[in-house]
Amino acid sequence: MRNGTWQTPTLVVLRSYPSIHDSHLRDDPRNAYMPDDLRRFWDSMGGAPDPRNDEIQLRLFAQDIQIVGAMHSLHVPLLAGTDTSNPYTYPGFSLHEELQLFVSAGLSPMEALRTATLRAVDFLGIQHDFGSAEEGKIANLVLLDANPADDIRNTQKIRGVILRGKFFNRENLDGLLTREKASIARQ
């Protein structure tokens, strides 16, 4: 913290390495939103299956969780990130998993939520335009059906989104997902 270093651990990426050979990853319905060439690339990663390597990767991931917990306890500023395009990391979807992994590392749900919201605003130095619901600020909000402070998984219970002042209800959001899936299928 003394030197102003921020960390974006991308735990969701690190979590995929121990299970890179797991066939369930290839069956994930979110793959329908990813281009075929990227999915083929993901399928080619990890080399030949080796349970010993997978076990090592699993132990390393457990250490990654502990390291993030230690950084948090030392007040190292953390940011949520997913490094989309890494194996089995999905734009938008994986952020929810990253927040859950932060909680498993010892952050409270609100602290985890801040890594993707207020901390990002602080890091980028854009507090004058973002970070709170005030007159004159850009209105980007996610409206949830349940409180993420009670359970960080509630970030997935999205009722609507306000993006640059335009409201998208659940039906609109589902329509966007359907169109994206169809677009990928046509490629």
pLDDT, one tens digit per residue, over 29-60 is 999 999 999 998 998 887 777 888 888 999 99
Extents of the domains making up the chain: 11-186
In the chain, the DSSP E strands lie at 141-144, 158-163, 166-169
What pLDDT is attached to residue 124? 94
Per-residue burial over 155-181, b = 16 or more CB atoms within 10 Å of its CB, e = otherwise = bbebebbeeeeeebeeeeeeeeeeeee
- Cβ 104 vs Cβ 34: under 8 Å: no
User: For the whole model, what pTM was predicted?
Assistant: 0.92
CA distance 146 to 164: 23
| pLDDT classification of 1: cutoffs 50, 70, 90 | low
